[in-house]
Amino acid sequence: MSTPELVTVTIDGRQVQVPKGMGLVEAAAAAGIEIPVFCYEPRLGPAVGACRMCLVEIEGMPKLQTGCSTPVADGMVVHTAQSSEQAARGQSATMEFLLLNHPLDCPVCDKGGECALQDLSFRYGQGKTRMTFHKRSLEKPVPISPTIALDRERCILCYRCTRFSQEVAEDEELTAVNRGALSMISTFENEPYRGPFSGNVTELCPVGALTSTQYRFKARPWEYEQAASVCGLCPVGCNVTVQSREGKVQRVLSRNHPEVDRGWLCDKGRFSYPHLYSEERIVTPRRRGARALEELDWEQALEELAGMVERASGGVVLALSGSETLELAYALAKIVRQGAGSDRVVLPEQTSDALDPFRVPIAALAEAEEIVVFEDCPVLDRAPLLELWLKQARRNGAQVTRIGPSGDIQRAHGEAALACRELAEKGNALGKRLRAAERVILLWSGGGSAGGTHLAALALTLGLNEKKGSGALLLPASPNARGVAEAWAAAGDEDRQPKQIGLLIVSGDEAASDPQVRQLAEHARATVALTLFAGDSGEWADLVLPATSYLEREGTMRNLEGRLQRLRGATGSPVRSELSWLVELAVRLGVALPGSEAALFAELSAQALDGISLSALGERAPLLPHGEARTFEIPEAEEPPILLGGPLELIRYRALFSGPEVEHVPELAFQRPATEIEISPEDADRRGIADGSDVVVRSNGTRVTLRARINAALLPGMVRAAATHTSELARGVEVSRP
């Protein structure tokens, strides 16, 4: 990349050199001078000069100019309101105009204490009003969705929210209606703002016009305790600030990591924290009684658990969810491998270090020329923030090619595996483009990638390890799949596979709902489940132990880039931390288990993480160096099956708005996945199914009615649906009109 040309400008008498084309607001900031703004927000695209708060005087120009939208030019001499009376008068008039109809209800406004309008009117406003008429009064607030309220009286029409909706999320859900003084922000046709990223507008709004319904009237900003943590709901690992008051989480805000999330969150990460306080949450241990689960105290529960481990005599199996921190997975693994003498584990998915040489920061997507997405599972459902990065990439001119959905390629006959082979061949048009491009990123969002080896093989063939800004990323189904596998491996090196399952330890609600784990539970003599909600496990576990949520945990997780990031638990939890009782259990079993997450990390790091220290991870973790590219064979791929008649193959995926964290938050119910099934045009034709019509999906005596959505990208013989609606169905299904 070429070095930008520098220009010299003078702002309030200070000379500064900045890149040509930079806006005056940023240039002033570089000179240590503040130009106040409301609408200016570089993440929303080019400045629009809507609020007029940044008016400055520029020598040689007859009128005041908006600093945000005026690029610097060499020799420019600028006076801000700090040194120009004309600019100060302009700014003061702007402020008076903004407050003309503003209700000034700061004492009851949720933005009070962190409001740009409050702060700037205090610093730049007149201190008294000349207005004697009644201010405009409107219905307040208007719910624009179950999670967001709009108070139109407070809106200063900065258009940050509409620009986010139209230019970042590209959901086109928010717009300004009417003209002039009657302009207002609204959703289209007053329908709810339905979009996976809608909550970002509550953080973007510089005043109290857009607020979170969950947070309204809960607390004041200065009352919070804050934890700089990481969202643990998907493998992106967005950086968040968790704010608590009196030991209860009150909101989750973004904490901009420019390489990971750019300060955006999805609504699952932002709005699902009330699951912590659901009445259905398990907060005390429970044991299966004659009729139902009965509560018992921790002393009794640990006694029971230690007895279960002993009676299993080496036949212990651990099932992990991939939502555990490295530390928790390591502690559980030590208990099983060193305390129970068993080395059998059920990991959430296959992982490998094959992709390590092709790691790139997620942010590299924005600069890529070519992006190929192998998409069995929609990227939005698996790693939502990546959708925003893909949109950004497309706006920046990248070619984004989506391949799939294709089914389970582990069986090496799916379209994606075929595509891998074809892409690697020189004759393929896309393959040629990928070879010619400088910055190429491959994304794999689906099952059966053998831990990324298919993708690594393709990346190596395309020489991506030698092209700066190029790389390949696997999107795992669980937030910390790689981390828990590393933790398990670090806890022992024997391979004692029990013939009988004396005890099955199931960690997390995701593992408890896995059909494979459920089958093991049927064969186990005893089962213990660590769970937030005794949903699935409540039906079969002998002992249920309350689990903490990612918002309450201390520890580390490895995200889809391979970045190790720290979780810092918010203050207060209704549940005892796992480590506190695992340490007691370890003593009973004669295992040496460090008593803190930091000490566990240090031990784990010495064995498996090159001795990296927690402090090296910092508040915004860097992407650490990786190894050399290895040689891989492109896996052999057969033609995908074209099934004419007979059962269709069901691709099931975990929808974004599903899972225990969402199901216990009523405000998120409207975001739950549509009750639909995707079907190829060929299969729909053959069955006389029209797009949008109801269909019956059957297998093994089970039937569900769903709406058909015809998807031309789907191969004949395959159908795809969210697991929420198809959990009772087998893999082969019949689809027909009712």
Is residue 269 part of the contact set for ligand SF4 (CB under 6 A)? yes
Q: Using alpha carbons only, how large is the chain's radius of gyration in Å?
A: 28
Is residue 326 part of the contact set for ligand SF4 (CB under 6 A)? no
Nearer Cβ to ligand SF4 (205/390): 205
Which alpha helices (DSSP H) does 324-396 contain, by range? 326-334, 379-382, 385-395
Nearer Cβ to ligand SF4 (271/581): 271
Determine the Cα angle at 656 with ends 486 and 320, to 5°.
25
Is residue 209 part of the contact set for ligand SF4 (CB under 6 A)? yes
Nearer Cβ to ligand SF4 (52/286): 52
Is residue 570 part of the contact set for ligand SF4 (CB under 6 A)? no
Q: Which of residues 655-684 bind ligand SF4 (CB under 6 A)?
A: none
- 544 φ, ψ (degrees, to nearest 5): -115, 125
Q: Which of residues 498-517 bind ligand SF4 (CB under 6 A)?
A: none
SS3 of residue 127 by DSSP: coil
* C-beta separation of 697 from 733 below 8 A: yes
Q: Which of 87, 161, 340, 505 binds ligand SF4 (CB under 6 A)?
A: 161
Nearer Cβ to ligand SF4 (233/651): 233
Task: Name the residue number minimizing CB distance to ligand SF4.
Answer: 269
Q: Which amino acid is at 16?
A: V
Q: How far is the CB of 386 from ligand SF4 (least distance, A)?
A: 8
Q: Which of 9, 58, 98, 266 binds ligand SF4 (CB under 6 A)?
A: 266
Q: What angle, rounded to 10 degrees, do the helices at 116-124 and 85-98 form?
A: 140
Segment lying near ligand SF4 (by CB under 6 A), choices 156-164, 370-378, 415-423, 590-598: 156-164
Is residue 268 part of the contact set for ligand SF4 (CB under 6 A)? yes
Which alpha helices (DSSP H) does 45-151 contain, by range? 85-98, 116-124
Q: Which of residues 375-434 bind ligand SF4 (CB under 6 A)?
A: 384-385
Q: How far is the CB of 50 from ligand SF4 (least distance, A)?
A: 8
Rounded Cα distance between 424 and 12, Å, is 58
Is residue 195 part of the contact set for ligand SF4 (CB under 6 A)? no
**DSSP state at residue 563:** -
Is residue 210 part of the contact set for ligand SF4 (CB under 6 A)? yes
Count of other CB atoms within 10 angstroms of residue 62: 5
For the stretch 517-541, what's the b/e string if a residue is b when 16 or more beta carbons lie within 10 angstroms of its beta carbon? bbebbeebebbbbbbbbbbbbbebb
Is residue 443 part of the contact set for ligand SF4 (CB under 6 A)? no
Is residue 159 part of the contact set for ligand SF4 (CB under 6 A)? yes
Instruction: Give the burial class of 446: count Cβ atoms within 10 A of its Cβ; 0-12 exposed, 13-18 middle, 19 or more buried.
Output: buried
Q: How far is the CB of 656 from ligand SF4 (least distance, A)?
A: 7
Segment lying near ligand SF4 (by CB under 6 A), choices 233-241, 329-337, 502-510, 572-580: 233-241
Is residue 205 part of the contact set for ligand SF4 (CB under 6 A)? yes
Who contacts 107 (Cβ-Cβ below 8 Å, separation ≥6)? Answer: none
Rounded Cα distance between 730 and 721, Å, is 12
Segment lying near ligand SF4 (by CB under 6 A), choices 235-243, 411-419, 624-632, 708-716: 235-243
Q: Which of 16, 81, 169, 233 binds ligand SF4 (CB under 6 A)?
A: 233
Q: Please identify which residue in the block is written with the tokens 């960690």.
A: 507
Is residue 237 part of the contact set for ligand SF4 (CB under 6 A)? yes
**By rule CB under 6 A, what count of residues binds ligand SF4?**
25
* C-beta separation of 389 from 170 below 8 A: no
Which residues of the chain form contacts with ligand SF4 (CB under 6 A)? 155-161, 185, 204-205, 207, 209-210, 231, 233-234, 236-238, 265-266, 268-269, 384-385
